[in-house]
């Protein structure tokens, strides 16, 4: 049985009830609201472990709720699963760009959603810094202070740029970063590096990571994210 608190933000009463029933049966504690503004208040008050978020809400919409959570240093690591009827490619890209950790279309299978919740919670726990400040994801472990990366316990030698790219992606699992965002994060503003150069660096990074390269996902037309 799990004791994590899940915040459900959904304005359709029947879906609210379905989600609350499924999550409670799976052992989670559940908070429910139908408004984006109240969702932000509940996050502050109750510190949930994950948010299941509809996009089409009265007042503050789901995308803006997600953006505010991910832009706030206190809540940026809070996992968000978008659950919506908006399933076009541009909607999905917008959701990931807002910081969503996963995106599930309606109609949905409660069993599949529960599996997604478990997977996102697991990834979130794996990506938190440990007592030494290292960050783990799957079989990867990155130590910023020591400039070290290990995969399955074996050291991986990376260039400075490759290390910084991986560190940046690890900072927000599930978040989709454009090539320009990666350039700025790694090299700073006005650095003469093109998006194509980032593609080359990511390709080299993937090669060195071996099987762990599967976690670096290309989002067509946007950039890259760290996620299954």
The pLDDT tens digits for 174-197 are 888 888 888 887 776 655 556 678
Assess whether 110 and 139 both reside in one domain. no
The partner residues of 80 in beta bridges, in order of sequence, read: 51
Average pLDDT over residues 20-36: 95
- The pLDDT of residue 27 is above 90: yes
Number of domains in the chain: 2
The token duo for 219 is: 């989002």
Q: How confident is the model at residue 68 (pLDDT cuts 50, 70, 90)?
A: very high
pLDDT greater at residue 136 or residue 65 = 65
Q: Of 91-100, 175-184, 199-208, where does the model show the most confidence?
A: 199-208
pLDDT in the model for residue 214: 93
Assess whether 116 and 12 both reside in one domain. yes
What's the CATH code of the domain at 95? 3.40.50.2300
Range of the structural domain that residue 46 is part of: 5-126
pLDDT in the model for residue 125: 64
Assess whether 99 and 63 both reside in one domain. yes
Burial 139-158, CB ≥16 within 10 A → b, else e? bbbbbeeeeebbbeeeebeb
Q: Could you say which of 109, 126, 143 is where a domain stops?
A: 126
Residue identified by tokens 């700025």 is 184
Q: Could you say which of 126, 151, 182 is where a domain stops?
A: 126
Assess whether 190 and 114 both reside in one domain. no
CA angle 133, 122, 154 (to 5 degrees): 55
Average pLDDT, the chain: 86
Q: Tell me if residue 71 falls in helix, strand or coil.
A: helix
Assess whether 13 and 118 both reside in one domain. yes
The token duo for 77 is: 């690591």
Mean pLDDT check: name the lowest of 18-32, 132-146, 184-198: 184-198
């Amino acid at each position: 049985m799990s004791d994590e608190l899940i915040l459900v933000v959904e304005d359709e009463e029947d879906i609210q009830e379905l989600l609350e029933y499924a999550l409670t049966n799976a052992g989670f504690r559940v908070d429910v609201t139908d408004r984006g503004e109240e969702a932000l208040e509940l996050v502050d008050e109750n510190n949930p472990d994950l948010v299941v978020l509809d996009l089409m809400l009265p007042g503050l919409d789901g995308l803006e709720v997600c953006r505010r959570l991910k832009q706030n240093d206190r809540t940026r690591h809070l996992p968000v699963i978008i659950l919506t009827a908006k399933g076009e490619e541009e909607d999905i890209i917008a959701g990931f760009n807002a910081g969503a950790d996963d995106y599930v279309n309606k109609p949905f299978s409660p069993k599949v959603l529960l599996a997604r919740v478990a997977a996102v919670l697991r990834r979130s726990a794996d990506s938190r810094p440990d007592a030494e400040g290292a960050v783990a994801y799957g079989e990867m472990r990155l130590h910023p202070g020591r400039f070290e990366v290990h995969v399955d316990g074996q050291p991986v030698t990376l260039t400075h740029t490759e290390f910084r790219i991986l560190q940046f992606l690890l900072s927000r699992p599930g978040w989709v970063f454009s090539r320009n965002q990666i350039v700025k994060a790694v090299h700073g503003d006005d650095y003469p590096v093109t998006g194509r150069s980032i593609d080359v660096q990511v390709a080299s990074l993937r090669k060195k990571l071996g099987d762990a390269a599967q976690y670096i996902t290309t989002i067509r037309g946007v950039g890259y994210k760290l996620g299954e």
